[in-house]
Amino acid sequence: MLKLTLNGKALSLDADPAMPLLYAIRDIAELTGTKFGCGMGLCGACTVHLDGEPIRSCVTPLSAAQDKAITTIEGLANDQAMHPLQAAWVANKVPQCGYCQSGQIMSAAALLEKNASPSDSEIEEAMQGNICRCGTYPRIKKAIKEAASNLQKVKA
């Protein structure tokens, strides 16, 4: 049995330790907000946090998550209705098809945890692993800055 914490809840899984975390989250835990995009860690659609670090769950074996805490898009807001990034995403009408946006938001959330006020180039650096085929990058950039600024206001 593999033990881990998923969005704050303890979880025991009887699964192949080599199974990528993505499929455990989607098929076994039935949380489908985390998406499959490439299976090679190339597109970022499957991004989740492993002990706070953004990882590509499609190439991270379940064994690497043993005894660790995983946060998915469903758990990002914690006790709020929405994380400030999710609210900024809505305010800026970022999504088109929306499929990549869980991964985009999880990457952005990890960025803001480390850097409360990222510059354009820091945002590009942190987000270049997340592909959006619809072309929402300019709005993603804007929403990250807006969320960062709103978070600063809350702290001030």
Interface positions with another protein (CB under 8 A): 15-16, 19-20, 23, 26-28, 30-40, 42-43, 45, 72-74, 77, 80-82, 84, 86-87, 89-91, 93-102, 105, 123-125, 127-141, 150
Q: Are 31 and 74 in contact (CB under 8 A)?
A: yes
Q: How far is the CB of 53 from another protein (least distance, A)?
A: 19
Closest distance between another protein and the C-beta of residue 52, in Å? Answer: 18
Token pair 């807006």 is found at: 146
Q: How far is the CB of 80 from another protein (least distance, A)?
A: 6
